[in-house]
Homo-oligomer: A and B are copies of this chain.
């Protein structure tokens, strides 16, 4: 059976495509982190909205996003989503990213995205050992 987060993420993707940012922001927690690109992220709803507005503009209002596979790991009120996220636009050939999303179930039972990292391990590219 599909995890409830699959439907939630599909609805968020629809909101991105429609540029319905009021609806989109409802999917995020107040202090959510969005990775815009490797090495650059923003925190909080106001900054996330601005980021999506810029992304929409950059891609000529033609962003398409959908999930082509998903696994959810759930521990209490925390869930990790590993997804194959397909992104394209009029000026971006379709790319499939190994995305990682962390959701928290808030009081009231609603899941909200706390960490939105569609780039997955691309954030580690060029980074050496930390030890």
Contact = CB atoms under 8 A, between A and B. Distances in A.
Contacts of A127: 69, 71
Contact of A104 (B31, B69, B78, B82): B78
Interface stretch (A15-23, A52-60, A114-122): A114-122
A71 to B, nearest CB: 5
Interface string A61-76: 0000011111101111
B35 A124 contact: no
Contact of A121 (B6, B98, B117, B123): B98
A2 B80 CA distance: 23
Given A78-B115, A130-B6, A121 B120 contact: yes
| Chain A interface, >50% SS class | strand
B78 A98 contact: no
Contact of A69 (B43, B80, B82, B129): B129
A79 to B, nearest CB: 8
Interface of A: 2, 6, 10, 29, 31-33, 35, 41, 43, 66-71, 73-76, 78-80, 82-84, 98, 100, 102, 104, 114-115, 117, 120-121, 123-124, 127-131
